[in-house]
A and B are shown apart, each in its own frame.
Chain A
Amino acid sequence: MSGTFIGMPKFPAAAREALGNSQQRRNLRHATHTIRAKRARVVGELDDWEELRRTGAAIKDHVLSHLDRYLAELEESLTRAGATVHWASDADEANRIITSLVRDAGTEEVVKVKSMATQEIGLNEALEEAGIRAWETDLAELIVQLGHDRPSHILVPAIHRNRAEIREIFLSEMGRVGTPPPAGLTSEPHELAEAARVHLREKFLRATVAVSGANFAVAETGTLVVVESEGNGRMCLTLPETLISVVGIEKVVPRLEDLEVFLQLLPRSSTGERMNPYTSTWSGVTPGDGPQQVHVVLLDNGRTDALADRVGRQALRCIRCSACLNVCPVYERVGGHAYGSVYPGPIGAILNPQLRGTTSAVDRSLPYASSLCGACGDVCPVGIEIPELLVHLRTRVVDEQRGGIPSGEELAMKGAAWMFADHRRWEKAQQAAELGGRALGRKERLGRLPGPLSAWSDARDAPTPPAESFRSWWKRERGSR
């Protein structure tokens, strides 16, 4: 089973450790650069990309601002189509509902379609505690699960592993839980994929219960949509008798036609393809085709908290494409684990503090896990202003810590504000800095500062103060005229 994120250290500490893993950095650099180029190529094919992004954003904003109405409509149409709708206000409740549904179906194993929502609620761990085995069937999720690892990317959870590492995981772990890989398995990707096909087919044909998420839920028709590549999703959605889908309440779209917008935005932003190999839609129960017991768990788990934040609300537009991860210079270097959540990268840095609150060290540090370069906002297919939200959340973190004993940083900032407020004080400070600059001689950058100042200097290169400031130079050269 994959490890847990509870008790993660704050981002800078986790990032330092990740940066020491040079194999992971090489894997990430290769993978993110590959996908970046593919995305740019297929996005460039569409003349109306910007208009599509605006339309996608506007549909999501419309849904979010009418969410009460659309959730009621979705529930009604799902029920009419033969599905049973459950509501879960948090992760524990969702896990309890799903566990009891699996028990009612009389089985001790489920097959799973890759789903961010079920990772978010820690479903696999909850099922395991109840004695139910959950088999991940997406290739990357399988690699993570067999490797007793944690996901590090939204789309490709095993992005931090290369082919040689994956071969080793398959050879040592596959046989313990089912069909072993063939003898003589090499690290060729097609051979690794073939080993996964054979290993999982046995499970697909045996399983009686599947658990999925959904990329979209159409309110008017009660239609759920799963977008995928491998066909493992189709297997899970089609072969078992019972299907349980965990759907975040922000996944609703109003009409069938709205899928036309998102089925253009998502694959091009996500895998860099014109269209992903398989998209499945289903509306409740279809007699004689697929699962005859269909359950939908509508999940809040912090989403209404994000919805209540006027600025932060736009993070709920996210369609989990992961384009922002792939272009982020911070993500490229530290990888996904340092973010301490199933949602890593820029979107994770704005989503986690909103969904989970800012009570833990890692969630308080996430809004700072960015250089604010803006690349994430530029590629976001639904126009989420990620840099703006990062600043908004930084403000929130600072505001929450106001009062009580002021920190060293607060005192320093207050001092700086006092100094900048008056030109005479500023000039005095500059003269002091000139002295310091002369004392440092030809050194161009400040190294590690002593004591509490090291917290600042460890993450930043500051130039040494010049021996003569512009103001001093101006006074000397032109001041007499």
Chain B
Amino acid sequence: MSREEVLARVAAALEGAERTPLPDHRPAAPTGPADVADLFVERVEDYQAVVHRVDPADLPAAVAGALQGAARIVVPPGLPPEWLSALDGVEVVADDPPVPADDLDRVGAVVTAAAVGIAVTGTIVLDHGPDQGRRALTLVPDRHVCVVHESQLVADVPGSTARLRDAVDDGRPLTWISGPSATSDIELERVEGVHGPRTLHVVLVGRELRSPT
């Protein structure tokens, strides 16, 4: 009943009203790839997240370093196994079958990939594909190690949804992460770490081997 009532009230309110057009969005200003990676690192670090910038060959070592102190970790079923090849003495639990939330609360960390990184805002977007897993995986554990490739970076928020469109059309959720969980509810002073992971490590992987200088 109320559906018709509300829609009738909307129609009555709009009777004779001017119908305004939908504006076009301006595309984001182009930024060179090198600048984008530098800016991304600067902005992610600004949120008190830990950034490890590595060549592809050093990815396993960086992941192992970010997991230091964790005895048991959880990973999404589609995570490339070679990313974990440098781990030593760490119990790895694959989320298949799904780990109950109570157990997720007891693992030390989670390792995932990402879908997009946004430089200007220092944001990582998960589209919860097979290498990122369901949403609870990156929420309940207290440490999140997230691997982002430079090819996944975009300069700014405008343009970011083009890369997320397929996942959304596929019915998948998105999680936009900008630093660790935080609150400003007490006297508007920022405190890092409330309900989400209190520690966020971002491993940014370069496009190719860089010669040491």
Contacts and interface: CB of A to CB of B under 8 A. Distances in A.
Q: A and B: partners?
A: yes
Interface of A: 27, 30-31, 34-35, 48, 51, 54-55, 58-59, 61-62, 65-68, 71-72, 75, 81-82, 87-89, 93, 137-140, 143, 156, 158-159, 162-163, 166, 189-190, 192-194, 196-197, 200-201, 204-205, 221, 223, 229-232, 234-235, 237-239, 249, 254, 256-261, 263-264, 271, 273-284, 286, 288-290, 298, 300, 304-305, 307-308, 310
Interface string B189-209: 101011111000000000000
Given A68-B7, A68-B14, A279-B175, A62 B183 contact: no
Most chain A beta-carbon contacts within 10 A, residue among B14, B175, B194: B194
Contact of A65 (B14, B105, B122, B176): B14
A205 B105 contact: yes
Contacts of B161: 256-257, 259-260
Interface string B122-153: 11000010000011100100000000000000
B191 A277 contact: no
B13 A238 contact: no
A274 B178 contact: yes
B19 to A, nearest CB: 5
Interface of B: 2-3, 5-7, 9-14, 17-23, 25-26, 43, 46-47, 98, 101-102, 105, 118, 120-123, 128, 134-136, 139, 157-162, 164-165, 168-169, 171-189, 191, 193-197
A54 B186 CA distance: 33
Contact of A274 (B105, B122, B183): B122
Contacts of A71: 6-7, 10
Given A34-B188, A139-B183, A275-B178, A280 B13 contact: no
Contact of A189 (B102, B173, B189): B189
Contact of A163 (B102, B120, B187): B187
A290 B191 CA distance: 27
A187 B179 CA distance: 25
Given A230-B182, A230-B183, A290-B135, 10 more contacts: A61-B20, A71-B7, A81-B171, A89-B6, A138-B185, A139-B183, A162-B187, A166-B186, A201-B105, A254-B22
A279 B183 CA distance: 14
> Which secondary structure dominates chain A's binding surface?
helix
A48 B23 CA distance: 15
A190 B191 contact: yes
A276 B197 CA distance: 15
Contacts of A283: 168, 171-173
22 contacts: A31-B187, A34-B187, A55-B25, A55-B26, A65-B20, A66-B19, A139-B185, A143-B185, A156-B188, A163-B187, A194-B193, A221-B168, A234-B175, A256-B164, A271-B184, A277-B180, A277-B182, A278-B181, A281-B173, A281-B174, A281-B175, A288-B98
A62 B194 contact: no
B172 A65 contact: no
B160 to A, nearest CB: 7
A260 B158 contact: yes
A143 B162 CA distance: 40
Contacts of B9: 89, 300, 304
Contacts of A158: 185
Given A27-B187, A58-B20, A65-B17, A278 B98 contact: no
Contacts of A193: 183, 186, 191, 193-194
